[in-house]
Amino acid sequence: MTLTDTPAALVTGASGGLGAAIAADLAADHTVLLGGRDTAALGALAEQVPGSRPWPVDLTDADAVAAACAGIDRLDVLVHNAGVCELGTIADSPTDQWRRSMETNLFAVVELTRVLLPALRAAGGHVVLINSGAGLRVHPGWGSYAAGKFALRAFGDALRGEEPDLRVTSVHPGRIDTAMQRRIVATEGRDYDPDEFLRPDTVAAAVGNAVRTAADAHPTEIMLRPIAR
């Protein structure tokens, strides 16, 4: 199944925050599949973003992923945005926390990419991995999250080398003003000030710029940090 005559993009974690902003940016010149588990939120976003449609799936369920991808024979852009973040020192982080991080932040990315590789190859497509500053350096209390993001960076490097006809971009933003960020700041016991963080639209624009980069260039890594205030 070819989605439409326009380029097609799939954005995971699209029900809100950064994912919704990326979907809205790409919808200017793509047909966008809105990936996520919150069917109601995806439906509401699809009504606001012309040319998009919900693509509900639990990315940690390999059978569900295979079924959802069935029939997609061409995909121009795959943006891996879905992720989880739990904080805690190594002493206080049980093994299950590390497993949850790896399951969503790495294994789900690997499996969805693997299943969609034929469609990406058919389009000479572009895979965008929303990583983190935590994929470059580790701060105390962020071990399980950073481990998944470091592994995601390794996955991106391997994919780039193994699939030379695809473009693979790892995006390493600083902390972003999202609902997830509010939960993180609450865990840290601090007051929330949105001005401390990047705006979702700012990061989404960087992703859109990478996707729209002329075909003679390969944007391999993007790093964004909030302006110190």
Owning domain of residue 47: 8-224
Mean pLDDT estimate for the chain: 94
pLDDT at residue 186, rounded to an integer:
86
Q: What percent of the chain has pLDDT over 70?
A: 98
Are 31 and 101 in contact, with CB atoms under 8 Å apart?
Answer: no
| Rounded alpha-carbon distances, angstroms, from residue 17 to 41, 72, 165, 179, 202 | 11, 26, 31, 7, 12
Residue 188 has pLDDT above 90, yes or no: no
Residue 69 has pLDDT above 80, yes or no: yes
Residue 137 falls within a domain, yes or no? Answer: yes
Q: Convert the pLDDT of each residue in 24-63 to its tens digit.
A: 999 999 999 999 999 999 999 999 999 999 999 999 999 9
Residue 135 falls within a domain, yes or no? Answer: yes
Residue 219 falls within a domain, yes or no? Answer: yes
Residue 156 falls within a domain, yes or no? Answer: yes
Q: What percent of the chain has pLDDT over 90?
A: 83
Q: 224: which strand partners?
A: 173
Mean predicted confidence (pLDDT) in 185-209: 90
pLDDT at residue 229, rounded to an integer:
66
Are 120 and 57 in contact, with CB atoms under 8 Å apart?
Answer: no
Residue 25 falls within a domain, yes or no? Answer: yes
Residue 197 falls within a domain, yes or no? Answer: yes
pLDDT at residue 50, rounded to an integer:
93
Q: How confident is the model at residue 175 (pLDDT cuts 50, 70, 90)?
A: confident
Q: What is the pTM assigned to this prediction?
A: 0.93
Domain CATH number, residue 75: 3.40.50.720
Residues 6 or more apart whose CB falls under 8 angstroms from that of 201 comprise 21, 25
Residue 2 falls within a domain, yes or no? Answer: no
pLDDT at residue 129, rounded to an integer:
98
Residue 1 has pLDDT above 50, yes or no: no
Residue 44 falls within a domain, yes or no? Answer: yes
Are 82 and 13 in contact, with CB atoms under 8 Å apart?
Answer: yes
Strand locations in the chain (E): 8-11, 31-36, 52-56, 77-80, 126-130, 167-173, 221-224
Which helix (H) or strand (E) segment holds residue 198: the answer is none
185 or 144, higher pLDDT: 144
Q: Convert the pLDDT of each residue in 2-31 to its tens digit.
A: 455 789 999 999 999 999 999 999 999 999
Catalytic residue among 55, 145, 155, 197: 145
Q: How confident is the model at residue 103 (pLDDT cuts 50, 70, 90)?
A: very high
Mean predicted confidence (pLDDT) in 178-191: 83
* Active-site residue flag, 192: no
Q: Work out how many domains the chain is built from and give that number.
A: 1
DSSP-derived secondary structure letter, 103 = I
Q: Mean pLDDT lowest for which of 154-158, 193-197, 201-205?
A: 193-197
